[in-house]
Amino acid sequence: MKLPVALLLLCVLAPASARTAFQARCEDTIGQSVSVMSSKQNGHRVDNSYSFHGLSSMKGDRAPGSYVLGLTRTESRVAVKVEGRMLSDPATGYECIAPRLEVNLFYLPIVVYVGREFAPGTCAYREILAHEMRHLNIYLDFLPRAEKVVSEALARRFEGKPLYAPAGQARNLLQREINSGWMPFIKGEMAKVERLQAAIDTPLEYARLGKVCAGEVQSLIRPAKRQRTT
């Protein structure tokens, strides 16, 4: 796992048994670095208002000649709030900060689409919805896993200790590390869910869905295909 490069210009610290006066002040008075992680599910809804042609256009990238019967869509979001107490030392020209990072991972409300050609309660509808529920559950299961990975990485980086930088630079350097290092890392971790989603949509699974319910799916989409081409 590639972690963000630390951008803070940390000074070389003496062992705890030989702390400088400034180091002792920082470690004993401003508190520990803290990373507060949270993740939030925002629920889901089922939408039957789009035709399978509309869903196919919405999907975009797909095999030539293929159609999308159902679709599960959401977007991941990362919010990071940076705070922290500081102390400065005119004698050394350094300052210290005890970062407090509040990181929130969440999805926008998940929408599960089933083509409107498939009426609720029919065999075809149930099969397509069951397939999309697999996608939904991957999103729901993945979020706490991503939270754990990010939380552990942050804990290793900051270790509950103050960070040191030249006077007037600590906050800017910390924010730069968040923006250029941690945000891409966290977003990349969240994006890994799409590989799991892609593993569901195999040619074999699409072929299975096309044959379920004694050909009900094909019988419903074939007239719509002909109408589309005439």
Tens-place pLDDT, residues 175-212: 999 999 999 999 999 999 999 999 999 888 888 888 88
What is the three-class DSSP state of 53?
helix
Which helix (H) or strand (E) segment is 85 a member of? strand 76-89
Residue 19: per-residue pLDDT = 79
> Measured between alpha carbons, how far is 208 from 8 in angstroms, rounded to an integer?
54
Give residue-wise pLDDT tens across range 36-62. 888 988 899 999 999 988 998 888 776
Give residue-wise pLDDT tens across range 14-38. 444 577 889 889 988 888 888 888 8
When pLDDT is averaged across residues 3-7 and rounded to a whole number, the result is 51
**So where are the chain's domains?**
21-229
Residue 7: per-residue pLDDT = 47
Calculate ∠ Cα 36-74-185, nearest 5°.
Answer: 45
